[in-house]
Structure formats: C-alpha cells, structure tokens
Amino acid sequence: METLSNLADGFAIALTWQNLLLALLGCFLGTVMGALPGLGPSNGVAILIPLAFTLGLGPTPSMILLTSVYYGAMYGGRISSILLNIPGDEPAMMTCLDGYPMAQKGMAGQALSLSGIASFVGAFFATWGLIFLAPQLVKIALLFGPAEYFALFALAFMTLGGVSSTNQAKSAFAAALGLGLATIGVDTQTGVPRFTFGEVHLYDGLDFLVAIVGLFALSEVFIFLENRHGAADATKSKLVIGRLTPPLSMLKECTPTMLRSSALGFLAGVLPGAGASLGSFISYSMEKRLVDKKGTFGTGDPRGVAAPEAGNNAAAGGALVPMLALGVPGSGTTAVLLAVLLSLNITPGPLLFANNPDVVWGLIAALFIANFMLLALNIPMVGLFTRLLLIPPRVLMPIVAMVSFVGIYGISGSSFDLLVMIGFGIMGWGLRKFDVPLVPIILGTLLGNTMENNLRRAITIDDGNWFTLIDSPLAVGLWIVALIGFVLPLIIGRKVRKGMHKRRDEEGSIAD
C-alpha cells in the first residue's frame, strides 16, 4: 500500500504542465532518434543531456525528459526495422526478422501498429515490475558496506563483458580503460594530482559527458564519413504502409506472446550489463521455440514481431531497476542516464529512495504517462515518423555533430573540452573498428571514482587489511556471481552471442 501511495505522490509531481510537455517532447524526439538509423537510444540521450542542463531543469524534469527519450527510442527503433530491414537501433534488430517480411507482404501498417502495442505492453508491465522490484532491491542494498559496493561494481563490469562483446578480453580492456580515464585528475581523498601531466584543465578530471558524447555521437559521424553513406536508405524502397490497425484475431493470437516476452525481457533488463538487446533476442528465441510449430517465424509471423518488441521495451524498464536502486546501470543508455543524475548531484542507489523520493516516484509516474503518450504517438502518427526516414545522413550527420559541439560548449564554454570530445570521437571510431565495446568505457569513467572510494574506505576501516574485501558472506556471494558472470559466457555464451551479433554489423559497438 505504501508503494501505491508513493506512486500517487509521484503522479502529483509528474502531472504539471511543464513535466507533461517535457514528456511529450521527449517521447517525440526519442521516437525520431530511435527511428533514424545511426542514432540509437544511448547517443540520442547523450546529445540531449546538454539541452536538459541549458533549459535549467531540475533533477525530476530532466529525468522525465531523458527517460521519455529513452522509452521513445525503444519504440522508434522498430520503424526502420520493419520498413527498411535496417534496425534503427540495436535492440530493434530482432524485429527485422519478421517485421520486414510482413512489410513485404503489404502488412507494414499492421506490423507497425502491432509492434507499437507490443512495445506498450512490454513497457507497461516493466514499469510495474520496476515499482515492485526496486524497493525490494533497496532493502538488500541498505545492508551493503563499502566492501560489498566494491564487489557489486566489479560484478557489473564482469557481467557486462559477457553480453556486450564477442570477446571477453576486449570488454575487460574497455572497462579498464574507462576506470583508468576516471582516475585522471585530483585524487578526491588525498588531494594529489594524478595523470594530469601538468595540464590544469585535467585537474578536475575528464567530464564524463564529454566522453559520452564523443564516444557515441561523434564516432557515429566518423563511421558515416568512412563509408560515405550519405543517401537515405528509405529512397531505395517505396514506403507503403497499408492498413494501420491489426485485426483483433492477430492481437488475440499475440497476447500470450507479448505477456511472456514482457516477463522475460524485464528479467533480462534487470541483470546487470544485459540491456534491451538481450531482452529482444531471448524473447524472440523463446517464442520461436514455444509457438513456432509450423515454422512461420522469419517469414512474417506477427508473433515474431510482437515478441522482440515487447521484450526490448520490457528490458528497457528492467534496466532502470539496478540503475535506480543500486546505482549500477544495466545497459548503455541507463549508464548515460546515470551520468545525468550524477551531473545533477544526485547519487542513485538505496539512499535515493529515502532522500529524493520525489525524483524516483515522479520519474516512475512519468514513465507511465510517457508510455501512454508513446502509444498515442506511435499508432496514428506513425506516418509522420516514416517520413523522417527520408532525411538523408548527409543532412542529419552534420546536425548531429554540430548539436554535440553546441551542447558540450554550452555546458563548459571551453574549447579544450571540445578538443577532448573530438579525441574521444576518434577513439570511439577506432575501438568500434576493433569491436571493443564502448559501454564498459562509459561505465568505467562514470563509476571509477565511486568504485575506488569504496575500495579505499573498506580497507581503511579495516586498518589496511585487504582481506576485508571478502570478509562478509554478502561480499563473497557477489564475487562468486561476478566470477560466474565472467566465466560462464566463455563456456556457453558463445552460441547466444553469435546469434545476437550476426545482425549487428550496422550498429557497431553501441550495444544497449
């Protein structure tokens, strides 16, 4: 009951004209970003962070705007999957498998509206899951001391590698690189400068927003330049949408699929490091195994459209659980959202629920509102978004680059930060070539300082005894899970990842 009254308070916070307008703006922009190939949820949110700051928004409105973008991008990704057979963002790649064949059969409109409904169902149930699961997780997290937190961060990095890359060594490299970048600057505990090489600009450390925008948005611009991919994909095929409402029989047939996929997707999202791509992948695979008796999956089966869409939207909601309750994001985009919270001086984690209930519950209420808005935006207005697919990258990419520059310059007003951002852009491009995942780097730069502080606090409390790290059963448990999470994918994960990565050549290393 307490939960429901908290939720009611949340609605009271979210239901102001300003917040509703922000949610609507976020939903619209998010759908656009999800729909356009080359702009996924993580770089979409990254580009808009500076906007939230320059509007002078408080924590709750900023989060409402950006999580609406996040949910919106999950909806938008399916549009180009279905119409063009090109995933608009990585989680939408499974939707191509049955969505595009449906479109070829002249059922594009039905596929779009069905996937819109599936997205709604997934996100709706995931938001309820968030409401009930997050406070439980908080109760456990309150037992955590510094040693347990250190183990938890290690767990996040080690499990992240299992899903986000085909090569564990490369994700470990990425995590270490991110953590190393985080140590640049004045040491918070003793005040000595580290790795600054006398450069005054580095004393404050690298701003992780600069790193995020550079790695995600600018590297995308370089990828497009490299391939000289300037023409719109949509011009090649004619976009026939057809009837926009799915028949009731189709909905009825897909309902069990949507419910199962929502549950599975949510669980996949809650797991640290898994994110929405895994959610859509395992939902599709499970449905294929369960209901595909006649072998129609892959040839335009509506259930093959509903499953990954419900799964990825549910996973998007699920990924918010560890981010809000533990301060450990479950995916690339939630890592970016964590960066927003940290920049606003709010530390997610168990104390967030006690100290800033307005942020948490306002955000959750906003998720419900955004979800209804997205359903309304995505079914009748889907034609508008399909028009946007006609914008060629030779117009879009310069805009992306310039908005990135403007945003970073707007925050800091320094050319030095712009140069650092370009550096990160080149680094991101190179690392994507080597198939090194970018998400662990972001997570490392974000969590590096907290992780180090927890390590030092734990050991200092115990008078310099390093064994304190494995002193409590809780910490030992976390370490064991971390080790399993790291080793297991080496043994059985190869097959799963192969399936997932087969179709990801377009999207490079920006996994979500």
Partner 1 sequence: MSDRIFGVFGLLLAIGFAFAAFAIEESFLSDAVGPKAFPLIVAAVLGVSSLVIAMRPDAEPAWPALGRLVEIGAAVVVMVLYALMLPVIGFVLATAIAAAYLSWRLGSSVIAAIATGVGTSIGIYVIFHLVLGLSLARGPLGF
Interface residue list for partner 1 (CB under 8 A): 51, 54-55, 166-167, 169-170, 172-173, 175-177, 179-180, 183, 187, 189-192, 194-195, 218, 221-222, 224-231, 393-395, 397-399, 401-403, 405-406, 409-410, 413, 415, 418-419, 422, 425-426, 429, 433-435, 451-452, 455-456, 459-460, 463-464
Tokens found for residue 306: 């509903």
Which is closer to partner 1, CB of 452 or CB of 512? 452
- The whole-angstrom separation of Cα 115 and Cα 454 is 43
Which is closer to partner 1, CB of 183 or CB of 299? 183
Task: Work out how close the CB of 245 gets to partner 1 at its nearest, in angstroms, rounded to a whole number.
Answer: 35
Pairing of strands 193-194, 185-186: antiparallel
Which is closer to partner 1, CB of 39 or CB of 305? 39
Which is closer to partner 1, CB of 446 or CB of 455? 455
Residue matched to tokens 């390093």: 466
- The whole-angstrom separation of Cα 378 and Cα 113 is 8
Task: Work out how close the CB of 469 gets to partner 1 at its nearest, in angstroms, rounded to a whole number.
Answer: 11
Cβ-contact 264, 313 below 8 angstroms: no
Which is closer to partner 1, CB of 170 or CB of 504? 170
Which is closer to partner 1, CB of 201 or CB of 456? 456
3-state class of 185 per DSSP? strand
- Per DSSP, what are the bridge partners of residue 185? 194
Phi-psi region of 38 (alpha: psi -120 to 50; beta: other; left: phi over 0): left
Task: Work out how close the CB of 87 gets to partner 1 at its nearest, in angstroms, rounded to a whole number.
Answer: 19
Could you tell me where the DSSP H helices lie in 142-167? 146-164
Which is closer to partner 1, CB of 233 or CB of 301? 233
Which is closer to partner 1, CB of 356 or CB of 468? 468
Task: Work out how close the CB of 138 gets to partner 1 at its nearest, in angstroms, rounded to a whole number.
Answer: 27
Task: Work out how close the CB of 64 gets to partner 1 at its nearest, in angstroms, rounded to a whole number.
Answer: 17
- The whole-angstrom separation of Cα 144 and Cα 350 is 10
Task: Work out how close the CB of 333 gets to partner 1 at its nearest, in angstroms, rounded to a whole number.
Answer: 23
| DSSP character string of 259-301 | HHHHHHHHHHHHSTTTHHHHHHHHHHHHHHHHH-SSS-TTS--
Task: Work out how close the CB of 38 gets to partner 1 at its nearest, in angstroms, rounded to a whole number.
Answer: 11
Tokens found for residue 1: 């009951």
Within its chain, how far is the Cα of 466 from the centroid?
Answer: 34
Helix-strand-coil split of the chain, %, nearest 5: 75, 0, 25
Task: Work out how close the CB of 190 gets to partner 1 at its nearest, in angstroms, rounded to a whole number.
Answer: 4
Cβ-contact 394, 221 below 8 angstroms: no
